[in-house]
A and B are shown apart, each in its own frame.
Chain A
């Protein structure tokens, strides 16, 4: 089955610790995205990558970092510099390239930092 996987579903960390969220896709998509969702708000873009070894900041990149060493993987690190990291994090991918296509989402990771 083709799709996007995010692990784990729930993640708990102590304040001051960095944590890495996993996102893997086997759709052969070029583009991948990370979003944050807070209660009562829509999704906000953290980082995106349109091709391997390249990525750009989204609207709320401060306190986050990413890497894109492989086409199928786009991990997100929430650093201790992120002031309010508790949120629901969604990863997405799209075909990318010259055409604009819809984005498909993974099941998400709920991060709680105490």
Chain B
């Protein structure tokens, strides 16, 4: 069975600085997708970024980028130029192309300080 591990329960960063959130996963599949979702205090789950396992190039979305290491089964999220609005829970998630099931990590609570 697939598992997703986020080893940092809480992180903090000063506004305008850069922070990296860690995620590792375990799977025997070769084709899959990885996602980072953001859950602000409103509790709405918002898709931040997506990575297809077959793509070697790391995904980027404006200030958000990932470091995808397929052999190491690692998928970290880098937030550059952090903003107060980035304060939220961040969940790493694995999507199996076989089952279409999304498996979540336990989340990292990020606090951005002014």
A41 touches B106 (CB 8 A): yes
- Are B45 and A58 neighbours in the complex by a CB distance under 8 Å? no
Q: Would you call B101 and A100 a contact (CB within 8 A)?
A: no
Name A42's contact: one of B33, B95, B97, B107 (CB within 8 Å): B107
A interface, size bucket:
20 to 34
Within 8 A of A (CB), among B61-114: 91, 93, 95, 97, 100-102, 104-107
Chain A residues near B56 (CB-CB < 8 A): none
Chain B residues, CB < 8 A from A102: 33, 35, 47, 50, 95
| Residue A50 is within 8 A (CB to CB) of chain B in the complex | yes
A108 within 8 A of B: yes
Query: Hey, which chain A residues are within 8 Å of B106, CB to CB?
Result: 40-42
Min Cβ gap B108→A in Å is 11
Known contacts being A88-B43, A108-B43, is A42 close to B4, with CB within 8 Å? yes
Cβ-defined contact, A42 with B104, below 8 A? yes
Q: Is A31 an interface residue (CB 8 A)?
A: yes
- Is B44 interfacial (CB 8 A cutoff)? yes
B42 contacts chain A at the CB level, 8 A cutoff? yes
With contact pairs A42-B4, A107-B43, A107-B44 given, residues A100 and B105 touching in the complex (Cβ less than 8 Å): no
Closest residue of chain A to B106 (Cβ to Cβ) is: A42
Q: Let me know if A105 and B95 touch, CB within 8 A.
A: no
B91 touches A43 (CB 8 A): yes
Let me know if B100 and A50 touch, CB within 8 A.
Answer: yes
Q: Tell me the A46-105 residues at the B interface (CB within 8 Å).
A: 48, 50, 58, 88, 90, 92, 94, 96, 100, 102-105
Q: Measured between alpha carbons, how far is A58 from B101 in the docked complex, in Å? A: 8
Task: Give the chain B neighbours of A41 by CB distance below 8 A.
Answer: 106
> What are 5 pairs between A and B in contact, CB < 8 Å?
A45-B102, A48-B100, A92-B102, A100-B95, A100-B97
**Extra pairs beyond A102-B33, A102-B35, A108-B44 (7, CB < 8 Å):** A40-B106, A41-B106, A43-B91, A45-B102, A96-B100, A100-B95, A108-B45
* Chain A residues at the B interface, C-beta cutoff of 8 Å: 31, 33, 40-45, 48, 50, 58, 88, 90, 92, 94, 96, 100, 102-105, 107-108
